[in-house]
Structure 1
Amino acid sequence: MKNSNKLFEKQIELKNSQISGGRASGESYKNQHHTFTDQHGCTVTVAVVLTDNDVKVEECFFTNCP
């Protein structure tokens, strides 16, 4: 399942470049990623896209269970 995590990362990168390339407001964006293990033993990754002013643009959750 390691490859699927890399696929998700690539999809997030693509989506982020589409967001930043599609707006002419001069804003830039930053990504935050947090990974933790939930109570069921699943690895959960939370990816958040924020503007320079810390306004949330998008939030995605990815879960990988054994």
Structure 2
Amino acid sequence: MKHLTLILTAALAIVLASCSRGPITANLMCYNVHNCVGLDDSLSCERIARIINDAEVEAVAL
């Protein structure tokens, strides 16, 4: 009985180790806000927030 348990445990470990879940991906963004002043020299934090939100990323570095 111990041998059967050992064989089944080893077989299960081999099967689980061979399963591949595929690559893990993450969407990241780095954005320099320049004090929220755009190319038109107007201050707009809402515009920067909208740009970042529209990018649909998981993490943002400012």
Tell me the TM-score range normalised by the shorter chain.
0.3 to 0.5
- TM-score, normalisation: structure 2: 0.33
More helix by share: 2
Of structures 1 and 2, the one with the larger relative CO (CA 8 A, separation 6+) is 2
User: Larger % of strand: which?
Assistant: 1
